[in-house]
Amino acid sequence: MKPLYIILLIASYFGVLVLISYFTGKEDSNASFFKAERQSPWYIVAFGMIGASLSGVTFISVPGWVESAQFSYMQVVFGYLVGYIVIAYLLMPIYYKLNVTSIYQYLEQRLGIVSYKTGAFFFFISRVLGASFRLYLVAIVLQKFVFDALGVPFWITVTISILLIWMYTFKGGIKTIVWTDTLQTLFMIIALIVAIVLITDKLGWSFTEFLASEELTKYNKMVFTESFLVKNHFIKSFLGGMFIAICMTGLDQDMMQKNLTCKTLKDAQKNMMSFSVVIIIVNFVFLLLGALLFIYADRFGIAIPLLDGKVKTDLLFPEIALNGGLGITLSIVFLLGLIAAAYSSADSALTSLTTSFCIDFLGIEKREERLQKKLRKQVHIGMSILLILVIVVFKYILDSNVIDNLLKIAGYTYGPLLGLFAFGIFTKYSIKDKYAWMVAIVSVLLSYSIGKIPSESIGGYVIGYELLIINGLLTFIGLLFISKRQTVNID
């Protein structure tokens, strides 16, 4: 597919998103930008959250991970389900009861201003890195298959990507995103289905024949229980997935901001539980696609692409979709799916970063009303520039599968949030709030040191996603050390 045609496709796609933003962003108010006036239908939020949760990481990186990890990722996904139940019936009632705009406002009411700022800071770092990981993926694909041929530098590719997001979010914010996410999820699922249908047909299989094939057995091992020492043991992965879901969804302003646009708590809970079931199915189908990609590449002699001289399995799906001899249809739906998957999480990340910075750090709700909108727009531009800078840096420092990197980073950045919220919810102690930030920093440093311990030094045990739990536990213990004798009422 010629680069010019790809650019026209991208322009048409974003034209539709800008049109949606025109109708949803007419009010251009902070209430609409931050909360969508809490009028979003729960089923629309649930469907849109699929794309936001999966993102470009799942669309490209999960299929590319199948060769080295097989279907072990499903162990993490099963843990997600339990985590979503905790979110729906433990965290959401708290957020709705307090009527918060930023979920970290709970920490201010429960523990104090320093705890509040500490939680907001760690979300900010987490979301900047997470959004940058996701956008980095789509940027390197566009760079390799489109802009390299046109002689466009990588930093310009990234800037264009962020600018496109800014164009349709700067007015409507979360109100726009609730609806654009629905469209983006639809494109992503269509791309997934079309890819599987066309690849199985090219291989001479029906879908059921593929499921029964001997080739699939090379990749589809799902449960690993042979040795508790290895990183992907079932228990470690399941617990890691559970706490990743709690932290990266339930303690994340980005994901919760969408849920908080639902009319009632009951609607938000229906949204979360329906979403949690569908997300398991979709992740499994992406793993099936990954197996198909490697089978197809092996049968037709397609080499795994290189990026800067390094093998990059993340690029196998785009390589086959665009250059694998499967026709223009797959090229078109792949690009639509890729763009949709990447931007459905990146646009909400930009909005949530703007929201968190305005509410949590600038106290925008306490400022003069006439200045609030202008300040929000200035912050929105600032967040866009920050994402550009971080993504460009990633090109030179990432050397492994993106989803693996993403989950590793989550272990360090979300741990303090887990500890702070757990302490606030499950104890009645107050704390010496001025020391909260020290506890969080020490917990991260200790967790990082633990994560760097050579497996040979601890009997061959490989630390995996349970590092998030360790980090949260260290924060919780640290808060106990700075707790006061008097208790507070948490009812």
Question: What global pTM score does this model have?
Answer: 0.79
- Alpha-carbon gap, residue 306 to 315, rounded angstroms: 8
What 3-state DSSP class applies to 288?
helix
* N- to C-terminal Cα separation, the chain: 60
- C-alpha to C-alpha distance for 91 and 296, rounded to whole angstroms: 44
On the 0-12 / 13-18 / 19+ scale of CB atoms within 10 A, 141 is buried
311 membership: H or E segment, kind and range: strand 310-311
| Residue position matching structure tokens 């200035």 | 378
Q: Report how far residue 232's alpha carbon sits from residue 68's, in angstroms, rounded to the nearest whole number.
A: 11
Q: What is the pLDDT along the chain (491 residues), one digit of tens a residue?
A: 677 777 788 788 778 877 877 776 666 555 556 655 566 777 777 777 776 676 666 777 788 888 888 888 899 999 999 999 999 999 999 999 988 888 899 999 999 999 999 999 998 888 888 777 777 777 777 787 778 878 888 888 888 878 877 777 776 666 777 777 787 788 888 888 999 999 999 999 999 999 999 999 988 899 888 888 877 889 988 988 898 889 888 998 877 877 888 888 998 899 889 988 888 998 999 999 999 999 999 998 888 887 666 777 878 888 888 888 888 888 888 888 877 776 766 777 777 788 888 888 888 777 776 777 788 888 888 888 988 888 888 777 765 555 566 667 777 888 999 999 999 999 999 999 999 999 999 999 999 898 888 888 888 887 777 888 899 999 999 999 999 866 655 55
**Closest C-alpha to 48, from 138, 193, 179:** 179
Q: How far apart are CA 488 and CA 435, in angstroms?
A: 18
**Could you identify the residue written with the tokens 């213990």?**
477
Helices 328-356, 42-56: inter-axial angle, 10-degree rounding: 110
SS3 325: coil
